[in-house]
Amino acid sequence: MRVAVISDIHANYHALEAVLAEVTAEHPDEIWCLGDVVGYGPDPNRCCRLVAGHATLCLAGNHDLAVLGVLPVSDFNGDAAAAVRWTQGELADDAREFLTPLAPSATRDDTALFHGSPVDPVWDYVLSEAGARASMELVGAPLVLVGHSHVALQISYDEGSLAGGLAHRGDVVDLSSARWLLNPGSVGQPRGGDPRAAWLTIDFDAGRAVFRRTEYPIELTQRDIRAAGLPDALASRLGLGQ
Ligand code: ZN
């Protein structure tokens, strides 16, 4: 089975459209989404429709849950909270129906999937060695997929020893060599200095994962963010990949 993994789309339609064009050209068997389809960006409804039409599995992220009213807006900082409130006013009925049943974790065959991490599927950020270790000790799955931090990661865990770190375009992971924790990075608001949309392919038969990056017209999303009256920082950060 070949799977494309996307995460943290954050209502960035132009990024999602560009990624899905590359994904569908490769005809994966499935597309998995690790959550945060909405929040921050200007196009929540079209993003929900695209994900609903393409993904075979989709998790709920903290922003999705806040927009639905499951989490309080007060859990979010200034710009994120403003975007949650804006999205609540924009969300169409079909987008709400798509997001409502989603959960922040799932298991598919030998893969455990979390928006945050096994420690806290909604809120925990895996950004440190200690965080990765805690996650790998909590679940026994050979492969653990997480999103939420918007930073692509490849961390191996073999009999208590960790290795790896940040993942870059073209990095290849041999899944047979150890247990792995992978974060595909973010489609719609990449952080870590590379502004290109991030995603991941997994070939389970070949035991291989590859980190991918896709260029998209960032200026169109920035224009839409400003036209929507969302905080300007949410536009400028896209150009920096931060
Ligand atoms: Zn996110």
CATH of the domain at 131: 3.60.21.10
The rounded Å distance from CA 64 to ligand 1 centre is 9
pTM: 0.97
- The CA distance from 115 to 101, in Å, is 15
Residue entry with tokens 């974060």: 183
pLDDT at 45: 98
Under the banding of pLDDT at 50, 70 and 90, the label for residue 159 is confident
The rounded Å distance from CA 36 to ligand 1 centre is 5
pLDDT at 3: 98
pLDDT at 48: 98
Residue numbers of the domain that contains 183: 2-239
Partners of 155 in the beta sheet? 164, 181
Question: How many angstroms separate the Cα of 118 from the Cα of each of 29, 114, 134?
Answer: 26, 7, 8
Number of domains in the chain: 1
How far apart, in Å, do the first and last CA atoms of the chain sit? 33
Q: Which residues surround ligand 1, an ion (CB under 5 A)?
A: 8, 36
